[in-house]
Amino acid sequence: MDVLLPRSLEEALALKAERPEAIPLAGGTDLMVELNFGRLRPAAIIDLTRVSQLATHHQENGDVFLGAGLTYAAIVKELPDFKPLVQASRSVGSPQIRHRGTVGGNLGTASPAGDALPVLAAYDADVVLRSQARGERSLPWHAFLRGPKKTALAADELILGTRWKRLRGPGSFSKIGTRNAMVIAVAGLCLVVDEDGRRVNVALGSVGPTIIRASQAEAQIASVMGSSGAWQDPSTTVPDQAIDEFAELVASAARPLDDVRGTAAYRRHGCRVLARRALTWSLNERRLPTWL
Amino acid sequence: MSIDIRRKGGVGESVRRVDGIPKVKGDFEYASDLRRDGMLYGATLRSPHPHARIASIDAAAAAAAPGVQAVLTHADVPGKKTFGLDVQDQPVLAVDVVRYAGEPVAIVAAEDPEVARAALKKITVNYEVHTPVTDMERALEPSSPSVHPQGNIVRTLQVIHGDPNAPADVWVEGRYETGMQDQAPLGPEAGLAVPAADGGVDLFIATQWLHADHEQLAPCLGLPPEKVRLHLSGVGGAFGAREDVSMQIHACLLALRTGRPVKMSYGRQESFYGHVHRHPSRVWMRHGARRDGTLVSVQARLLVDGGAYTSTSPAVIGNATTFAAGPYEVPNARLSGTAVFTNNPPCGAMRGFGAVQACFAYEAQMDKLAAALGLDPIELRLKNALKTGSVLPTGQPIVGAAPVRECLEGLRGLPLPADEPALDRDPMLLPGGAGNVGHGETLKRGVGVAVGYKNLAYSEGFDDSSEAWVRVSVDGHGPVAEVKTAAVDVGQGIDTIVTQIVRTELGIDRVLIRPPDTTIGSAGSSSASRQTMMTGGAVQLACQAVRAEIDAQGGMQQVRRPIEASRVFHHRPTGKLDANGQGDPHVSFAFGAARAVVEVDTGLGLVRVVQIAVTQDVGRALNPQSVTGQIEGGSAQGLGLALMEEVALVDGQVKNASFTDYLLPTILDMPPVVCVLVEEPEPGLPYGAKGVGEPSTVVVPAAVVAALRHATGRELPRAPVRPDDLVGL
Ligand SMILES: Cc1cc2nc3c(=O)[nH]c(=O)nc-3n(C[C@H](O)[C@H](O)[C@H](O)COP(=O)(O)OP(=O)(O)OC[C@H]3O[C@@H](n4cnc5c(N)ncnc54)[C@H](O)[C@@H]3O)c2cc1C
């Protein structure tokens, strides 16, 4: 097995073009598990940890760019304004895993239980890819994540990072697991409010083959907030019944299965409870905005 | 006898662990670190089926693969084809039938571990697949297929005491279940077998009991006992998992066949298949009492799943049944217990050994009874508490210390942790922890207590003695004491305790522990909370003999040549149970009580355990810090059983053989443990010290689940309790 050690993005892309079978390695927290279990024996590995261009983030014209090589620990430290992303990052693994694991790796693995993914979905993020031959392209998150552990990444491409339009509004990420840390999500939910677009975006993880947006619920609550005047006046009460309805619609968007981590019935129930809580938190926060 | 407990580094002091610094620094050599020049790596082919007949095995392609030095099947086992601690019914390598998924079928030795594993894939086994028996109750039905020719019952026993049909004012009844728990020692099974010039073999091994391994190895290898020598290697935890043989015989067979050292070292996944687990249980109980709370009668039926082979199931069900009435005076009882064979993975020893399953049921019953009578749960327990002189359902009187009352009152005296407002609390300190699932919504607090007990050392007529050798000499730095036993330090700290005992008895600071091996007599197993009393006792006797000789020579200054002595310590003899379960089965008992305070997010069914408090009958704490460590660790393992630890089985297949999905408590799940040591020296044991490893594991699962019942008002008859159970799905 060859281990290739590019020192720049150009070098990395050239290597990937030359050896499309080579597997990129970022933090290795998914890849090394595959190797250790003997499920993967790649002919070559491209270690991206020396490619500093990947471990960056910046904001431009209201857009946010998050480099594929940013670790969860770096996100927690450097991006406190992106609360749902920080909450998701904080929920990942253990300190060791958060110091190695990256959002690019989460995207590369494309597990329905990837904790960064519901956040990117709720932000409506694009995934930015690049190859030496064809240059850069961007895909909406749902076009990139094509199924459980399936992505649209071409063999000669690398993930550069993700980009989304910065939203104004509160939001949160929550993850249910059967222990209080270091656990694979039984259900995860990210809710973000887009004050300017007058939308509430809700994305679910671990309750379907890939990340799910609860679009019916999103439409229902945006319209209730419209007709009740809550968009204009955050102090307007959103009726309990509408919140219940919203929670119910979120639960029905889930497509969970029974497995060793949890039952389908509990996962659906969890989505309902998390939806209700997350919406309530955001509505309360709109009254006393801390996200401004 | 008076002991100078002020002797520096002697008994009674929280002496630092002798293995502490090397372990913390990473210098300690565990069995998985063993290396020899020219060594080969062994690997094991395991059955994918829980029940099948082996029609044929073709190993030719594997044997011909480059780098492969040997491929062995049952035909290559030169001696006895089976092993086992109690009954030798487990094949070294499956002969014609496999009885559980994961059963070893063939072994390979190769130049490198990857080559060895690749060779396994080249072995073709033709299986004729049969329907497995996977449910312990169905195993008892006459229509069930038989796992073994003699049927599906490993052992069944009854304890009849007084008049089991005696009338009572109030009856409560319940059914309870516990799941299959894994010991999850951090060091998976590992050892190195080195062929010797005399045609024998030296095995360096992480085990709990060198001599029990030795007794099973020599016949299978077809060698006289003296040609099989076992040497202890570094043990990374055990908790019962290393009581049964795993890779020992396999490594020796490969070493003897190839003439080269062979190392076998399981990964985590294989470890789940490579050792026995805690017996899952199903228990029915009925308790009758007078209106004032006095217990009149206990009726119980206990069923445990022994899996495919006998292992220690007979003793486990013996314990579960004889302890089924709890640490209470019960004048009338009918307790029946059965361990069955199924095609599930074999079950055997794990911390608490049958007492855990019984306590989970009888303590739930005591809470039910308290509720039915409108009594305070602790009052009800105090009213019926065992004490010295009480007679157990087996007819055995308690002659030693039985501070059940003191344990319960100790708990009652501990202040409850203050209520913490949910508002503005760091979500990390709420149920769900790092998942940020709530801000304190639907939060309910609950408190539960449990008291229980367990036997120390082996029971029912077993003489698990221990031998120690002590030698005192004088060198340029003054006197030095050397000690040798076969006692295994699995991490519990026996080496440190032995050092403390030698210092106390001989007044010599420098104590060297020689590496344990089979050249000395057995120390018995590092299990059943027994090493401090048994090997500690032997070391004390040997020291006293040496001391007498030193005194006879006129004191240490007069000693010219080394003085040595060997002694064997036996516990008091016990007896078998008769047909009605009457007799004198147990040596001595340790009692303990626990109180758990929990918070439940009742919306999501998630839990934060706020505090665990344990009061434990320890006889006398020889090293208080070690005792506290045992109580904390035992509590963590108990909390694991209550909330998350379960080997998930579907049709005999393990579904979570890794730490990804077999969840152990993390530091965010494990609360601070408040420990109170109840010290009432036990007559007849060295320094009056009782074993301390198990009582917390016995009582904590029952206490945690009682607290969950209190918080939610739900029945919760099964551990581990799942979020689904807490929300009522
Ligand atoms: C103990 C443990 C706990 C864990 N807990 C969690 C958890 O709580 N939540 C969670 O979501 N995950 C968890 N994981 C999984 C893992 O940590 C995450 O998925 C993490 O984001 C992976 O990132 P990485 O940088 O380590 O990826 P790697 O393992 O390096 O790579 C993963 C995949 O992405 C590809 N890849 C990486 N970077 C690029 C790139 N720039 N371009 C193209 N392809 C790329 C790799 O080729 C590989 O296929 C856990 C893992 C472990 C071992």
**Closest ligand 1 atom number to CA of residue A102:** 25
Rounded CA gap, A234 and A247, in Å? Answer: 20
For B87-105, how does the pLDDT look when each residue is reduced to its tens digit (9 = 90+)?
A: 999 999 999 999 999 999 9
**Does domain B39-130+188-235+242-274 correspond to CATH entry 3.40.50.1100?**
no
Query: How far is Cα B79 from Cα B655, in angstroms, rounded to an integer?
Result: 35
Residue B179 sits at the chain A interface (C-beta within 8 Å): no
CA B712 to CA A44: how far, in whole Å? 54
The partner residue sitting opposite B433, judged by closest CB among A181, A263, A266, is A181
Distance of alpha carbon B521 from alpha carbon A150, whole angstroms: 60
In the structure, what pLDDT confidence band is assigned to residue B5 with cuts at 50, 70 and 90?
A: very low
Q: Give contacts of B 615-644 with A, CB under 8 A.
A: 643-644
B32's CB contacts (< 8 A; 6+ apart) are B187, B188, B190, B206, B236, B265
Residue to mutate among B265, B441, B599, B604, with most A CBs inside 10 A, is B604
CB–CB of A266 and B661 under 8 A?
no
Q: Give the three-class secondary structure for A125.
A: coil
CATH superfamily, with its number, for domain A171-287: CO dehydrogenase flavoprotein, C-terminal domain (3.30.390.50)
Both structure tokens of A2 = 């060859």
Please spell the DSSP secondary structure of A147-162, one letter per residue.
ETTEE---TTEEEEEE
**For an interface test with A, which of B425, B437, B602 has the most A Cβ atoms less than 10 Å from its Cβ?**
B437
Among the partner residues B434, B648, B724, nearest to A180 by beta-carbon distance = B434
Is any Cβ of chain A less than 8 angstroms from the Cβ of B424? no
Find out whether B185 and B726 touch, Cβ atoms under 8 Å.
no
DSSP, collapsed to helix, strand or coil, labels residue A289 as coil
Nearest CA in chain A to B640: A179
Q: Which residues of B touch A186 (CB under 8 A)?
A: 723
3-state secondary structure B647-701: CCEECCEECCCCCCCCCCCCCCCCCCEEEEEECCCCCCCHHHCCCCCCHHHHHHH
Rounded to 10 degrees, the C-alpha dihedral B596/B598/B602/B606 comes to -100
The answer to whether domain B3-30+465-570 has CATH 3.30.365.10 is: yes
* Fold (topology level) of A2-31+55-165: 3.30.465
A 183-222 residues with CB < 8 A to B: 183-186
ipTM above 0.85, yes or no: yes
Residue A238 contacts residue A225 (beta carbons within 8 Å):
yes
- The residue among A32, A115, A173, A179 with the most chain B CBs within 10 A of its CB, best to mutate, is A179
Chain B contacts of A176, Cβ < 8 Å? Answer: 432, 435, 437, 604, 606, 723
Is residue A105 in contact with ligand 1, taking CB distance under 6 Å?
A: yes
H or E element: which one contains B56? strand B52-58
Nearest to B409 by CA among B213, B615, B229: B615
Domain range annotation of chain B: 3-30+465-570, 39-130+188-235+242-274, 138-180+280-355, 397-454+587-726
Q: What would the pLDDT profile of B475-508 be if each residue is shown by its tens digit?
A: 999 999 999 999 999 999 999 999 999 999 999 9
What digits encode the pLDDT tens for the residues B332-376? 999 999 999 999 999 999 999 999 999 999 999 999 999 999 999
Hey, what are A213's tokens?
């947006």
Read out DSSP for B145-196? PPSBTTBSEEEEEEEEES-TT---SEEEEEEEEE-PPP---SS--EEEEEE-
Q: Which of A31, A174, A184 to mutate to test the pocket of ligand 1 (most atoms within 8 A of CB)?
A: A31
Distance CA A148, CA A208 (A): 9
Index of the ligand 1 atom closest to the CA of residue A129: 42
Contact state of A180 with B644 under an 8 Å Cβ cutoff: no
A109, A136, A210: residue to mutate for ligand 1 pocket, most atoms within 8 A of CB = A109
With an 8 Å Cβ cutoff, is A176 touching chain B? yes
- Domain residue ranges in chain A: 2-31+55-165, 171-287
CA distance B227 to B233: 19
CA–CA dist B78, B245 (Å, integer):
17
**Rounded mean pLDDT, B241-262:** 98
Contact A194, A206 (CB under 8 A): no
pLDDT reading at B4 higher than 80: no
Residues of A in contact with B431 (CB under 8 A): 180
Q: Are residues A181 and B432, on separate chains, in Cβ contact within 8 Å?
A: no
What is the spatial distance between Cα B17 and Cα B1, in angstroms, rounded to a whole number?
Answer: 27
Q: How far apart are CA B716 and CA B181, in angstroms?
A: 18
Q: Please give the Cα distance from B529 to B520 (Å, whole number).
A: 22
Pairing of strands B653-654, B68-72: unpaired
Q: Do domains B138-180+280-355 and B397-454+587-726 have the same CATH topology?
A: yes
Alpha-carbon gap: A137 to the closest alpha carbon of chain B (Å): 34
What does CATH list as the number for B397-454+587-726? 3.30.365.10
Residue of B nearest to A38 (CA): B114
Distance A192 CA to ligand 1 centre (A): 24
Taking only the tens of pLDDT, chain A with its 292 residues reads 999 999 999 999 999 999 999 999 999 999 999 998 889 999 999 999 999 999 999 999 999 999 999 999 999 999 999 999 999 999 999 999 999 999 999 999 999 999 999 999 999 999 999 999 999 999 999 999 999 999 999 999 999 999 999 999 999 999 999 999 999 999 999 999 999 999 999 999 999 999 999 999 999 999 999 999 999 999 999 999 999 999 999 999 999 999 999 999 999 999 999 999 999 999 999 998 765 5
Largest Cα separation within chain A, whole Å, is: 62
Q: Is B675 exposed, middle or buried (0-12, 13-18, 19+ CB in 10 A)?
A: buried
Contact: A90, B432; criterion CB under 8 Å:
no
| B138-180+280-355, CATH topology level | Aldehyde Oxidoreductase; domain 4 (3.30.365)
CA dist., res. A80 & res. A90, Å (int)? 11
Residues sharing a CB contact under 8 Å with residue B610, sequence separation 6 or more, in sequence order = B417, B420, B445, B597, B598, B599, B671
Q: Could you tell me the pTM of the whole model? A: 0.97
Q: Is A265 in the pocket of ligand 1 (CB under 6 A)?
A: no
Cβ neighbourhood burial of B31 (10 Å; 0-12, 13-18, 19+): buried
Per-residue pLDDT tens over the stretch B600-650: 999 999 999 999 999 999 999 999 999 999 999 999 999 999 999 999 999
Query: What is the pLDDT averaged over residues B511-522?
Result: 98
- Note the pLDDT of residue B6: 47
